[in-house]
């Protein structure tokens, strides 16, 4: 690597480390909001209850944060320490991958793409930390960094890292395979074709077929596939919630996606100016295909955190082509790119910080339920109509959220909240006497009061 290239990349590496350090600090400050929130609370509860590793919907790449929590549990850490570990581990993982790309593989611009992707399309989704789409902001970019390093030096380390990164991407999320294919094509368009790129692309392309034979689709995934079929017609409707979410949070409601639109436009203009027609076609085609599939799949809408999670891979699709273009710039342009990255990181980081108010409002309502349950001898039964009137509209994980929230004050302070709706009641997924008493010791017998 030339001295000029090293100098161009050093500035973006510094900025990238600053961004991840800031995200780590934010994860520490808001660990309660990140850990005790619907899906996160549900998964953390399973991690604490089960002896072995637990995976949702065959997504085996969601491994490292869980191992960190399990390790701390082996050390008999208290529940607050375990939840802090979970919150921070979900940031330290991409930060570690950023360091591998930038310092081990010596691909600072691929690392910069990883730092940019971590913040570009994230706001309230930061508080849905266990949602596996977050892994698509780092694993595929590590893959391309290794592929790029292999292109320059045919050594064993980039080869091994490339295959490991591909497998992590494929097992992270159902969108892992198409995102990996797009990333490999971007890399080929920028650096040229070689045997490793062909092998990786073939594996990524055939993986969905293999996966559906070996691991049949879960009920949740089957619902998404049905949504794609149903949503093809719904996309033409003016009331498509997914379309409204993307454009509403580009300028009307928040400016979450405005930097993404700006960088997409800048990348398009730069590619046109340089005559990089193949890379331009791949960029526009991949973004268009992703939006069409997302608009169709989520045409019925979802909660705010889940809706933003659906659009996270847009950051990866723009970050890599932009980084590949900027690394060809001179030293001055590289420093300008680092400054732009810092500005975008600051703007998006500010949005994440302010989003804590929305998640904090829900957490305050859960704390109120915990206080109410303690006044009822540790057991509370409440109906969905009451919860909806209070502003708690997502109920399926509420008993687990309340249990974790209450147990932060000590195992004996744990309470049980049961939700009653039109159908069956929603309670804890296991009997009270099977709770791990290291962290949860609610009263086994007590009054259940409406």
Write out pLDDT tens, residues 34-55.
999 999 999 999 999 988 888 8
What is the pLDDT confidence band of residue 2, given thresholds at 50, 70 and 90?
very low
- In angstroms, rounded to a whole number, what is the distance separating the alpha carbons of residues 303 and 435? 29
Instruction: Please say whether the beta carbons of 7 and 330 come within 8 A.
Output: no
What is the pLDDT confidence band of residue 424, given thresholds at 50, 70 and 90?
low
- At 229 the pLDDT is 59
- At 154 the pLDDT is 75
- At 220 the pLDDT is 62
- At 301 the pLDDT is 78
Is the pLDDT assigned to residue 5 strictly greater than 50?
no
- At 233 the pLDDT is 60
- At 235 the pLDDT is 58
Is the pLDDT assigned to residue 259 strictly greater than 90?
yes
Is the pLDDT assigned to residue 317 strictly greater than 50?
yes
- At 310 the pLDDT is 92
- The model's pLDDT over 360-374, given as tens digits with 9 standing for 90+, comes to 999 999 999 999 999
Residue 307, CB half-sphere, CA atoms under 13 Å: how many?
A: 20
- At 427 the pLDDT is 85
- In angstroms, rounded to a whole number, what is the distance separating the alpha carbons of residues 166 and 160? 10
Which of the two residues, 165 and 221, has the higher pLDDT score? 165
Average pLDDT over residues 276-294: 94
- The model's pLDDT over 59-91, given as tens digits with 9 standing for 90+, comes to 777 789 999 999 999 999 999 999 999 999 999
Helix/strand/coil for 105: coil
Which of the two residues, 147 and 223, has the higher pLDDT score? 147
Instruction: Please say whether the beta carbons of 58 and 86 come within 8 A.
Output: no
How many residues does the structure list for the chain?
450
- At 1 the pLDDT is 45
Average pLDDT over residues 103-118: 94
Question: Over the chain, what is the mean pLDDT?
Answer: 88
> What single-letter DSSP state applies at residue 426?
B
CA 324 to chain centre: 23
Closest to 311 (Cα-Cα) out of 236, 244, 394: 244
Which of the two residues, 329 and 264, has the higher pLDDT score? 264
């Amino acid at each position: 690597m030339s001295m000029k290239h090293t100098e161009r990349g050093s500035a973006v590496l510094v900025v990238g480390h600053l961004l991840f350090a800031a995200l780590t600090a934010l994860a520490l400050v808001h660990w309660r909001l990140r850990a005790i929130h619907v899906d996160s609370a549900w998964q953390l509860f399973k991690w604490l209850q089960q002896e072995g590793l637990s995976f949702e919907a065959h997504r085996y790449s969601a491994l490292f944060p869980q191992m960190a929590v399990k390790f701390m549990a082996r050390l008999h850490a208290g529940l607050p320490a375990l939840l802090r570990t979970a919150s921070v581990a979900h940031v330290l993982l991409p930060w570690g991958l950023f360091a591998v790309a930038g310092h081990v593989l010596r691909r600072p611009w691929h690392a910069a793409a990883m730092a940019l992707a971590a913040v570009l399309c994230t706001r309230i989704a930061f508080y849905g930390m266990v949602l596996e789409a977050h892994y698509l902001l780092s694993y595929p970019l590590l893959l391309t960094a290794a592929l790029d390093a292999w292109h320059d030096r045919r050594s064993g380390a980039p080869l091994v890292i490339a295959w490991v990164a591909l497998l992590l991407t494929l097992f992270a999320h159902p969108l892992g395979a198409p995102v990996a294919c797009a990333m490999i094509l971007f890399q080929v368009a920028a650096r040229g074709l070689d045997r490793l790129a062909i092998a990786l692309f073939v594996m990524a392309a055939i993986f969905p077929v293999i996966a559906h034979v070996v691991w049949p689709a879960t009920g949740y995934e089957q619902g998404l596939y049905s949504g794609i079929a149903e949503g093809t017609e719904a996309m033409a409707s003016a009331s498509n919630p997914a379309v409204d979410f993307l454009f509403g949070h580009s300028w009307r409601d928040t400016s979450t996606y405005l930097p993404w639109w700006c960088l997409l436009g800048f990348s398009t203009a730069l590619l046109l100016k340089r005559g990089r027609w193949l890379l331009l076609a791949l960029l526009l085609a991949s973004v268009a295909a992703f939006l069409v599939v997302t608009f169709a799949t989520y045409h019925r809408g979802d909660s705010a955190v889940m809706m933003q999670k659906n659009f996270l891979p847009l950051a990866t699709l723009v970050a890599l082509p932009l980084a590949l273009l900027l690394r060809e710039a001179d030293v001055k342009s590289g420093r300008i790119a680092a400054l732009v990255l810092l500005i975008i990181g600051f703007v998006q980081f500010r949005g994440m910080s302010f989003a804590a108010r929305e998640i904090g409002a829900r957490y305050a309502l859960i704390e109120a339920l915990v206080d109410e349950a303690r006044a009822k001898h540790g057991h509370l039964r409440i109906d969905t109509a009451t919860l909806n009137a209070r502003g708690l509209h997502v109920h399926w994980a509420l008993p687990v959220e309340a249990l974790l929230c209450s147990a932060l004050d000590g195992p004996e302070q744990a309470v049980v909240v049961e939700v009653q709706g039109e159908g069956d009641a929603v309670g804890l997924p296991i009997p009270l006497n099977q709770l791990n008493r290291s962290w949860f010791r609610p009263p086994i017998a007590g009054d259940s009061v409406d």
